[in-house]
Amino acid sequence: MNFAMSTLRPFEKDLDKTSPNRNIAPISTEIDTEEKICVAGCSLSGLAQKYGTPLYILDELTIRKSCKEYRESLSEYYPGESMALYASKANSSLALSRIVASEGMGIDVVSEGELITALRGGVPTNKIIFHGNNKSFSELSLAYNNNVIIVLDNQNDIKQLASIVKSEERKARLMLRFTPGIECHTHDYIKTGMLDSKFGFNYTEIENIFVQFKNIKWGELIGLHAHIGSQIFEVEPHRDLADVMAKVLKMGRKYGHPIDILNVGGGLGIRYISSDDPPSIKSWVKVVSEAIFEACNNRSLELPLLMCEPGRSIVGTAGLTIYSIGSKKEIPGIKTYLAVDGGMSDNPRPITYESKYSAYLADRPFFKEKNRVTIAGKHCESGDVLLNDVLIPECKCGDILVVFGTGAYNFSMSSNYNRIPKPASVLVNKGNSDLIQRRELPEDLLRNDILPDRFIAKD
């Protein structure tokens, strides 16, 4: 039985079930003959026994399917050139970089660490975009030396690049980021397109930037970038975004800049719980493509290369986390707490964004008798709660809990709070599991500690 497409989706009628971002579980999820959850032919409780818990698990099939959906949808709906870029801030690793590169996608990065990971993961330099609202001198130097496109976010970027690039050397390839002033219904902390944002130049500054770059010899403006938020379920704001971007494109070309790239960012949401209803990848790309085509056509503009930057919708539903259940606390008439061996250090999203997830027992996912419990983490914070008031079967210490939809912004935002080591990550595919990130050990947390000599007793 296909767990992802049937058991978790009995409430659906006419949704596009081929789009991975509309599943709760990875698309390879099934129930085996013993009624245990398997992903890509791997038993989750078996993976827990082999690698330990907490454990991040990524389904390669879901990642590749998501990449193909973006690439093929852009080819189908956009009549000009296009390129989908994986937003690696969602989850960055050598293995993920290699997978998305092999699927013909580019990648966007926001730090030296993410850039090095992309380069060593085999992403071609002409398919890497470097973002950031406070780039360091060394980061900009590394990006320029590797000939990746640099996104200008502010005047400090311009000032630093002017001292990095000599006028007689190869010009820096630049993309101008601006805030389009478009709101969308998402969490306040992940809205990035409104006027009050730390990202990008204000819309009113754009023309002055175009004038400024008429006299700059060390770089050329080849693209525009705008992004309106994350975990978005709406498509209409992207029509508004296309109109604004086409208007700025026309202005830039009027000033003689060779702008031939429009990067609309990413932000497509995924399904975390049954009530979530995000657009499919295909329908999102269709709206964006048609909107850019119409906006450019209305202004008699030659079609630019269309870029988008999906992150969550590539890896979110491809990922899950498994935990071992530990202690239990019952407060009669109020609440029952079940504690797991992880929490806010491996998934900070619930305490940060009040994010919701779907959870099941790995070996008894559909047992009819269920109890309402709250899944708490092991950290020294009252707010360290992964799931509030969820229904799961009666369980005991040592049972394996599965939390779906953790592929994006879990590992990448993880921490060592309470000096707890980070979990391992495994990639599963066709019955095989490969370790792609080692589990930290407690001793690893001391590797950067230094005890001053004066604290060490001398004989």
Residue 380: active-site member: yes
Q: How far apart are CA 232 and CA 91, in angstroms?
A: 18
Q: Which candidate, 419, 400, 406, 440, places its Cα nearest to that of 345?
A: 419
Q: Is 250 exposed, middle or buried (0-12, 13-18, 19+ CB in 10 A)?
A: middle
| pLDDT for res 7 | 41
Tokens 């818990």, located at residue: 53
Token reading at 242:
């296309």
CATH superfamily, with its number, for domain 3-59+319-441: Lyase, Ornithine Decarboxylase; Chain A, domain 1 (2.40.37.10)
pLDDT (tens digit per residue) in 272-302: 999 999 999 999 999 999 999 999 999 999 9
Torsion angles phi and psi, residue 48, rounded to 5: -65, -40
| pLDDT for res 73 | 97
Which three-class secondary structure state does DSSP give residue 325? strand
Q: How far apart are CA 428 and CA 48, in angstroms?
A: 13
CB 271 within 8 A of CB 277: yes
CB 273 within 8 A of CB 229: no
Q: Where in the chain is the domain with CATH 3.20.20.10?
A: 60-315
| pLDDT for res 196 | 63
Q: What is the mean pLDDT of each run of 10 residues along the chain (459 residues)?
A: 45 57 96 94 98 98 98 97 98 98 98 98 97 97 97 97 88 96 52 63 95 95 94 89 96 97 96 96 96 97 97 98 97 95 98 95 88 96 96 94 98 97 98 98 96 83
Domain 60-315 has CATH 3.40.30.10: no
CB 193 within 8 A of CB 136: no
Residue 106 burial (CB count, 10 A): 22
Tell me whether the omega of the peptide bond preceding residue 332 falls within 30 degrees of 0, making it cis.
no
| pLDDT for res 181 | 81
- The answer to whether the Cα torsion of 212, 107, 192, 236 is positive or negative is positive
| pLDDT for res 452 | 93
Q: How far apart are CA 319 and CA 61, in angstroms?
A: 11
Residue 455's H or E segment, with its range, is none
Can you spell out the DSSP letters for 273-320? STT--PPPHHHHHHHHHHHHHHHHHHTTPPPPEEEE---HHHHTTTEE
Of the candidates 38, 380, 395, 397, the residue annotated as catalytic is: 380
